[in-house]
Amino acid sequence: GNSVTQMEGPVTLSEEAFLTINCTYTATGYPSLFWYVQYPGEGLQLLLKATKADDKGSNKGFEATYRKETTSFHLEKGSVQVSDSAVYFCALIYAGGTSYGKLTFGQGTILTVHP
């Protein structure tokens, strides 16, 4: 079946540090890949997405590239801010068979950024 594996957290960084959160996936066919962010007490918000191999999603200084050869979609940001503290979820949608339209999530990575 389809699955997403994220690096275990929590991740603690100082402001302006470089961020990488690793994400790898297992899926049949060609899924779309997503990063969602959940701020404390809120629902999930789409951060970025990529729908085919070698696509780069980007938003708010965050980037992730769809790597089919390594089945990865690692999230990066060059300089984090305190306001980036949140839980980050990697997810995929594989539109085929019984998995049509279903978002499959990783376990989430807690990021804390200190001033």
Partner 1 sequence: DAGVIQSPRHEVTEMGQEVTLRCKPISGHDYLFWYRQTMMRGLELLIYFNNNVPIDDSGMPEDRFSAKMPNASFSTLKIQPSEPRDSAVYFCASSLAGGRTDTQYFGPGTRLTVL
Interface ranges with partner 1 (CB under 8 A): 30-32, 34, 36, 42-46, 49, 51, 89, 93-95, 98, 100-103, 105-108
Query: At 20, which amino acid appears?
Result: T
Compare residues 17 and 65 and give the one whose CB is closer to partner 1: 65
Closest distance of CB 92 from partner 1, Å = 9
Closest distance of CB 93 from partner 1, Å = 5
Compare residues 44 and 111 and give the one whose CB is closer to partner 1: 44
- Helix, strand, coil shares of the chain as percentages rounded to 5? 5, 50, 45
Under DSSP, the state recorded for 97 is: G
